[in-house]
Chain A
Amino acid sequence: MRKLKTLLCATGLLAMLSAGSAQAAGQEEMIEMGKAVYLNKSRGNCVSCHQINDPDATQAGNQGPPIVAMKQRFPDKAVLRAQVWDATVNNPITIMPPLGKHWILSEAEIDAVVEYVYQF
């Protein structure tokens, strides 16, 4: 019992100490995941239609506008997320797949790819 208490305290302390950097690490992980979603053919495959200034995004297509100046063009991140979740709301005949509405990506993956593109 005593042992358990110490363990709990220690964990608590550790958690308190690392809370700040955990958030940063979380953000980094999220962007990492978002990038994978962006590039992976069987996930978001955004790169097949959108150029982006990331050296790993080779052979990008140009069906859609390039991913640039995201913060200026989407001051409200929720609007950007909505575009990714269902592009047909803005344009019913768009070629962009409704990545959220059609369960192509999970909600977490959509959050991640939004964080990733928001850097550009």
Chain B
Amino acid sequence: MKIIKTMAFGVGLVLSAQISQAADSGFTLETVNPEADRVALQNYFKKRFPDAELNDYVNGIYAVDSNSREQWEEIEEFPPYEFAVEEGEALFNTTFANGKGYADCFENGGIGIRQNFPYWSKEEGTVKTLEMEINECREANGEKVLKWSKGDIAKVSAYMAWTSRDQVIDIKLPEDDAGAMAAYLDGKKFFYAKRGQLNLSCANCHVQGANIRIRADLPSPQLGHTSHFPVFRSKWGELGTLHRRYSGCHKDSRSHPLKPQTETFRNLEYFQSYMNNGLAINGPGARK
């Protein structure tokens, strides 16, 4: 037993010695290159987890940890988000007081478009997320806006993701607009910057620390992070948006989260989603 333990320790040591961060094109506007970053991140995880399939990263920690995957596959047999998707569909199809509906606000009537969000809006000079446009649609039609993190907004978003399953994520970075690159870079910097009392960056846990235990928790690889949101978490017992998860991770590292849908969180989502280009939408997802 003692020998086995020592051996396990040895593996841990080798792992932590090899780990570096996959931020190859740097952190200045002169050097930053999103395509190079995306390829570097994929290569980094290919090296770390040679047995994992690239397309499977949309399944988070379950792509790399076979133990928890079994439990998850059982959960997916009776998906806990099924009911919420139905409610989301009903909400989506309920007309507003003025006779219009969500379908009037989005391309293709809002069906099968999740893979294009978030996107850079030249006109507004900012990153637009799906949740943001859901609320803008309501506002434009004289309806009250919804709370950002859970509830109806997550249900509508879940239904829209559901109609987009298997669509390939396609985040664009218009080259003729310096603002888009600046937003990407802001999101990337945020991801790699240390913060909070515990001095942790997102990358600490989701790049170098991916699939290594923090007590009983296993952080997922950041590749694939955004593909399945909103997510039904057993711990929440309900759906939550991506920005709700961002808040949770901030609190776990003892730093004060920004408000959902603030510019920096949208830039973070832009960066993270760009990393997933080429992978498929599989929302809503189920997680522990």
CB within 8 Å of B: which residues of A?
45, 47-49, 51, 53, 59-66, 68, 88, 93, 95, 97-98, 102-104
Interface residues of B in 96-146 (CB under 8 A from A): none
Nearest CB in chain A to that of B215: its residue: A48
The smallest C-beta distance from A104 to any residue of chain B, in angstroms, reads 6
The smallest C-beta distance from B2 to any residue of chain A, in angstroms, reads 9
Residues B212 and A62 in contact, CB atoms below 8 Å apart: yes
Residues A60 and B9 in contact, CB atoms below 8 Å apart: no
Residues A66 and B12 in contact, CB atoms below 8 Å apart: yes
Residues A95 and B205 in contact, CB atoms below 8 Å apart: yes
Q: Can you identify 19 A-B contacts, CB atoms within 8 angstroms?
A: A47-B215, A49-B214, A59-B215, A60-B213, A61-B212, A61-B213, A61-B214, A62-B12, A63-B213, A63-B214, A65-B13, A66-B9, A68-B9, A93-B21, A93-B194, A93-B204, A97-B198, A97-B199, A104-B198
Nearest CB in chain A to that of B15: its residue: A62
Residues A59 and B197 in contact, CB atoms below 8 Å apart: no
CB within 8 Å of A: which residues of B?
5-6, 8-9, 12-13, 16, 21, 194, 197-201, 203-205, 208-209, 212-217
Nearest CB in chain B to that of A87: its residue: B199
Task: Report whether over half of chain B's contact residues are helix, strand or loop; otherwise say mixed.
Answer: mixed
Residues of A within 8 A of B200 (CB): 95, 97
Residues of B within 8 A of A97 (CB): 197-200
Nearest CB in chain B to that of A104: its residue: B197
Residues A63 and B197 in contact, CB atoms below 8 Å apart: no
Nearest CB in chain A to that of B219: its residue: A63
Q: Which of A68, A95, A103 contacts B204 (CB 8 A)?
A: A95
Q: How far is the CA of A53 from the CA of B5 in the complex (A)?
A: 10
Residues A102 and B213 in contact, CB atoms below 8 Å apart: no
Contact of A63 with B209 at beta-carbon distance under 8 Å, contacts A48-B214, A93-B21 already known? yes
Residues of A within 8 A of B16 (CB): 63-65
Nearest CB in chain B to that of A95: its residue: B204
Contact of A93 with B214 at beta-carbon distance under 8 Å, contacts A66-B9, A104-B198 already known? no
Residues of B within 8 A of A65 (CB): 9, 12-13, 16
Nearest CB in chain A to that of B21: its residue: A93
Q: How far is the CA of A103 from the CA of B208 in the complex (A)?
A: 25
Q: How far is the CA of A48 from the CA of B213 in the complex (A)?
A: 8
The smallest C-beta distance from A87 to any residue of chain B, in angstroms, reads 9
Residues B212 and A63 in contact, CB atoms below 8 Å apart: yes
Other than A61-B214, A63-B212, give 17 A-B pairs with Cβ distance below 8 A: A47-B215, A51-B5, A61-B213, A62-B8, A62-B12, A62-B213, A63-B214, A65-B13, A66-B9, A93-B21, A93-B194, A93-B201, A93-B208, A95-B208, A95-B209, A97-B198, A104-B198
Q: Which of A45, A68, A98 contacts B199 (CB 8 A)?
A: A98
Q: How far is the CA of A97 from the CA of B197 in the complex (A)?
A: 8
Q: How far is the CA of A46 from the CA of B214 in the complex (A)?
A: 10
Residues A88 and B199 in contact, CB atoms below 8 Å apart: yes
Q: How far is the CA of A78 from the CA of B187 in the complex (A)?
A: 39
The smallest C-beta distance from A39 to any residue of chain B, in angstroms, reads 11
Nearest CB in chain B to that of A102: its residue: B197
Residues A51 and B9 in contact, CB atoms below 8 Å apart: yes
The smallest C-beta distance from A80 to any residue of chain B, in angstroms, reads 17
Residues of A within 8 A of B215 (CB): 45, 47-48, 59-61
The smallest C-beta distance from B67 to any residue of chain A, in angstroms, reads 14
The smallest C-beta distance from A40 to any residue of chain B, in angstroms, reads 12
Considering the complex of A and B, which 3 residue pairs feature the smallest CB-CB distances, nearest first? Answer: A48-B215, A61-B213, A66-B9
Residues of B within 8 A of A60 (CB): 213, 215
Q: How far is the CA of A88 from the CA of B208 in the complex (A)?
A: 15
The smallest C-beta distance from A94 to any residue of chain B, in angstroms, reads 8
Nearest CB in chain B to that of A103: its residue: B197
Nearest CB in chain B to that of A51: its residue: B9
The smallest C-beta distance from A93 to any residue of chain B, in angstroms, reads 6
